Amino acid sequence: MSWALCIWVSLLVTSITTWVYKWRNPKCSGKLPPGSMGLPLLGETIAFFKPYSNLDIQPFIKERIKKYGPIFKTSFVGIPVIVATDPDFSYFVLNQEGQCFKNWYPDTFTKIFGNQNLATLHGFVYKHLKHMILSLFGHESRKKMLPEIEENVCKKLKLWSTQNSVELKGSTASLILDLTTKKLMGLDQGKYSDKLRDCFAAFNDGLISFPINIPGTAYHKCLEGRERAMKMLRDMLQERRENPRENPSDFFDYVIEELKKEDTLLTEEIALDLMFVLIFTSFETTSYSLTLAIKFLSDDPSILKSLTEEHEAILRNREDANSGLTWKEYKSMTYTLQFINETARLANLAIGIFRKALVDTEYEGYIIPAGWTVMVCPPAIHLNPDIYEDPLVFDPSRWEGSKYTNASKTFMAFGGGMRFCIGTDFSKLQMAVFLHSLVTKYKWEEISGGNIRRTPGLHFPNGYHVKLKKKEI
């Protein structure tokens, strides 16, 4: 009996050892990039999600760049990954969609954003939906929205100035959500908007968290937030179907008209998943950027002075001092657009852009095997001292002379390739209008919070509380 037991133990140990060896040394038709696959199934997931409290490159990424170079292999929750921190390789990956790579995100993201969300769609369907969105947020539409955006911003700032303390992340998120839902669904503040805000707040807490779906975890709360938000969106769509408008003016109107067509590519599931993603991305990304922007202004009075001077000059040059912002004035905000780009560069809200290899792809002697995931890492590019001098210093003037390119080899804050973020220009417009009204009419003092935490997504764990005061003219 003892000999049999020894044999079984030996076989078990051999099997486990072989399994671990194969995990750590995956087969490949060529040379894989250097790196470690971590533990079987778990990979290096725990190290990747380790929190840190600064704007620098994530320690997980920084340590491996130093050890392995700008292209290395790893694995997260059992998924083999090539991490790209090199601008040339990253640019190559993002511009080879449909050829060597396809847009891809882990199943955990798909559960959050929906099986038919924009990131999972390809080809003609993706292009069709992109065209629909641009019809609402394109150049001419943004020009028409400018007065409404300014009016809503002014109302919010006036309200905040009457309060003893304003938590900027939550307050700016509320402002952006009101603007976005009105454009997408014709939704004024009321029975749905406050509930949607609560759903998305819970949703965000678990978006970039360890993907364990157990009650009490951030990821579980995130999925619950999605379910509540999706139920409300379905109810709103059904309500609009029962009470259609004569003159279509928002995204729901376009969706309803499209669903009536016999040859449409749109389904209700695609429409609702798309709505969910559009609301979330505008609600979260712009509010985080604005909060961080105000923190940068608080920390550097010289930058606040330069920004204020640009906007006060706009007011002085007006024929009618009481008129609102014009499109020409917005396009003249040179320093403001530099400021917004610099905020996006340091905020690094997109910690990774994922693609999946469709075929074995060779790059500078390395093979990216078909089926492997590539994670382009924008923060490692934006904080590379060989690209940006003193990369952790907030310096809008570093953008002087640039063409304010939204996407390039060295600036990927808004994505790249054909998947470049559709809402980028809308987000920049909202930020510019907000900053214009803020610095020309108000001053503020910090009360508490403002410290950041990355997990690896950006958070303000204690909020950022300020006291807003009307300027004396």
pLDDT at 13: 60
- Does residue 95 belong to any structural domain of this protein? yes
Report whether the peptide linkage leading into residue 456 is cis, meaning its omega lies within 30 degrees of zero: yes
pLDDT at 7: 66
Q: Which domain holds residue 173?
A: 29-470
Chain-centroid distance of CA 315 in Å reads: 33
Answer whether 257's CB lies under 8 Å from 248's CB.
yes
DSSP SS3 for 71 = strand
Residue 21 resides in a domain: no
- What's the token pair of residue 59? 């320690």
Q: What are phi and psi of 171, to 5 degrees?
A: -70, -45
**pLDDT at position 15:** 55
Please, where are the H alpha helices in 25-122? 45-48, 59-68, 87-94, 107-113
- The whole-model pTM stands at 0.88
Asked if residue 367 is part of any domain, the answer here is yes
Quote the number of domains for the chain.
1
Does residue 13 lie in a domain region?
no
Residue 233, both tokens: 């969106």
Residue 206: inside a domain: yes
Identify the pLDDT of residue 191: 56
pLDDT of residue 204: 59
H or E element in which residue 353 lies: strand 353-357
Give the SS3 label for residue 80. Answer: strand
Beta-sheet strand order (sheet of 442-449): 166-167, 464-470, 442-449
User: How many CB atoms sit inside 10 A of residue 328's CB?
Assistant: 8
Two tokens, residue 310: 């640009």
Decide if 448 contacts 462 (C-beta within 8 A): yes
Distance CA 425, CA 418 (A): 16
**Rounded to the nearest 5°, which phi and psi values hold at 69?**
105, -175
Q: Pairing between strand 353-357 and 373-376?
A: antiparallel
Q: Is residue 405 part of a domain?
A: yes
How many degrees, rounded to 5, is the angle at CA 138 between CA 458 and CA 420?
45
Residues of the chain with pLDDT under 70: 1-25, 108, 114-126, 128, 187-194, 201-211, 247-248, 403-407, 473
* CATH, residue 405: 1.10.630.10
Give the number of other Cβ atoms within 10 Å of residue 215's Cβ: 7
- pLDDT number for residue 32: 92
Q: What's residue 411's pLDDT?
A: 93
Within-domain flag for 176: yes
* Alpha-carbon distances, residue 105 vs 3, 40, 49, 374 (angstroms): 49, 21, 17, 10
Residue 471 carries which DSSP code?
A: P
Percentages (nearest 5) of helix, strand, coil residues in the chain:
55, 10, 35
Query: Does residue 6 fall inside a structural domain?
Result: no
6 annotated to bind ligand: no
Residue 23's pLDDT is 57
